[in-house]
Amino acid sequence: MQLSKKIVNQIIPQAGLIIPGDQLFSLPEKVLQFGTGVLLRGLPDYFIDKANRQGIFSGRIVVVKSTSQGSADAFEQQDGLYTLCVRGIENGAMTEETIINSSISRVLAAKEDWATILQCAHDPGMKIIISNTTEVGIVLTDDDIKLSPPDSFPGKLLAFLYERYKAFHGSDDSGMVIVPTELIVDNGNKLRAIILELAAKNKLEEKFIQWLQSANHFCNSLVDRIVPGKLNPADKKNTEEKLGYTDELMIMAETFRLWAIESAHPKVKEVLSFSKADEGVVITPGIEKFRELKLRLLNGTHTFTCGLAFLAGFSTVKEAMQNEVISQYIRKLMMQEIATALDSDNNITYHEACVFANQVMDRFRNPFLDHQWLSITMNYTSKMKMRNIPLLLRHYSHTDEVPENMSLGFAAYLLFMKCKAGSDGRYYGQANGLPYAVQDDMAACFAEKSLADMDTFVNSILADKNLWGTDISRLKGFAESVKENLESLEKKGVLETLASQQTKKTVV
């Protein structure tokens, strides 16, 4: 039987399975959501569903999708219900939870149902707008909001807000809380600026523009949860057999979850009351701290480690974490060096950095995720520059001691980037007797520079201001440490080099 409201009461309760009660299906609609993607269903919709089950938020979601709604649409067949399989490690312990999410009231197609979508603007209970239209969704165009529907996401949003303004005669209470989740820095501010400019382009009246600015709250937000999406066919088949129903919308998400929303306005906290249901939702006047923690400890650690782990012969993150030497390296890198560097910024304490680092360790160990190290090496140089060079400079701003783990990670980056041009025009390195593709804009540069002797190669890369925006060869002892590590990696290999460093420092 296929998941739908009709069969919910026939599902046999079992440990770890959360089945919605009938009362959840009659909750009023409070949220308009642009997008049906797995990130939205695995994070914001997860929080709203959890709050509904706790009797906190008591509101459901109207979802707007850009594609046409056909007769075989899974959302329609399943009454908006979908199964979320939450799997991972939390506080060092394996956790699994299967949730039948009932937060979605209905799914409307923008092209066919635009009049119905605009009618939602007349609902006084509708208070929140959420979006995830990818990074290209938040762009300014010459959209005409009189179209049915407008072409762009900002055009559709502006048309909806204008409809609401007219429906409630511009009352302050009718303003919306708008929270984009697109992976853009200052996404709320940028969306607000686009909406205001688009309103001017469409020659909308000044009173409406004043209402846009005074009654509506555009909130910057940061989302952090790995939602791989659909289960692989074998896993899906086994899960459905265990649950006793089929589900075309079933997805998986890791245990870790964070939705940081930037606002100091009391109305935002009041409207986003679902935040009380889970500590993963944080409403705060500033979210830069969370962006920095994620960028440096999660992404930065990935970048320092990917070359080492791949050259050591590990394909996935979870596989490398099963090796004690690699695991200890990652822990030392985060606790001794990255967390300490972050502590030099008054915005983040060492304790906060360590708490996040421990969560990262749990995430890396997640046996349900197949995160490929080779995928992480894509655009290696730009990632090293954006994520880790600022950390390196911050480290040296308060000590002259060489950061040994950063140095080793950087040496592995140099070794990985030693490549040659292939007959197909791409660049390849070699590890463990096998070739690998170097997918980096600077591959040709490295292929040329790596022809020199090691000293010249390392010095030329570290001193290249075009690569790093600064000359990092001037950092005390860093070039010498990188050369020493690179020589050891080439002669001894990754694991022996790591093992020889394990006793140098002990994690506090």
* HSE-up of residue 302 (Cα within 13 Å, Cβ side): 26
- Position 503 scores a pLDDT of 64
Owning domain of residue 340: 288-501
Q: Are residues 72 and 160 in the same domain?
A: yes
Instruction: Please name the residue that has the structure tokens 């040659």.
Output: 420
Question: What share of residues in the chain are helix, strand, coil (percent, to 5)?
Answer: 50, 15, 35
Q: What is the pTM of this model?
A: 0.94
- Whether 447 is covered by a domain: the verdict is yes
Q: Are residues 211 and 293 in the same domain?
A: no
Q: Are residues 316 and 378 in the same domain?
A: yes
Last residue of a domain, one of 236, 255, 284: 284
Q: pLDDT by residue for the chain (508 residues), tens digit each?
A: 999 999 999 999 999 999 999 999 999 999 999 999 999 999 999 999 999 999 999 999 999 998 765 544 899 999 999 999 999 999 999 999 999 999 999 999 999 999 999 999 999 999 999 999 987 889 999 999 999 999 999 999 999 999 999 999 999 999 999 999 999 999 999 999 999 999 999 999 999 999 999 999 999 999 999 999 999 999 999 999 999 999 999 999 999 999 999 999 999 999 999 999 999 999 999 999 999 999 999 999 999 999 999 999 999 999 999 999 999 999 999 999 999 999 866 689 999 999 999 999 999 999 999 999 999 999 999 999 999 999 999 999 999 999 999 999 999 999 999 999 999 999 999 999 999 999 999 999 999 999 999 999 999 999 999 999 999 999 999 999 999 999 999 999 999 999 988 766 544 4
Compute CA distances 67 → 31, 76, 79, 303, 308, whole Å: 20, 14, 18, 36, 43
Q: Are residues 142 and 110 in the same domain?
A: yes
Q: Are residues 295 and 265 in the same domain?
A: no
Q: Are residues 44 and 11 in the same domain?
A: yes
- The structural domain count of the chain equals 2
Closest to 488 (Cα-Cα) out of 478, 479, 500, 476 = 500
Spatial contact of 463 and 471, defined as CB atoms under 8 Å apart: yes
- Whether 508 is covered by a domain: the verdict is no
Cis peptide before 150 (omega within 30 of 0): no
**Tell me, what CATH number does 138's domain have?**
3.40.50.720
- Whether 434 is covered by a domain: the verdict is yes
**Tell me, what CATH number does 409's domain have?**
1.10.1040.10
- Position 302 scores a pLDDT of 98
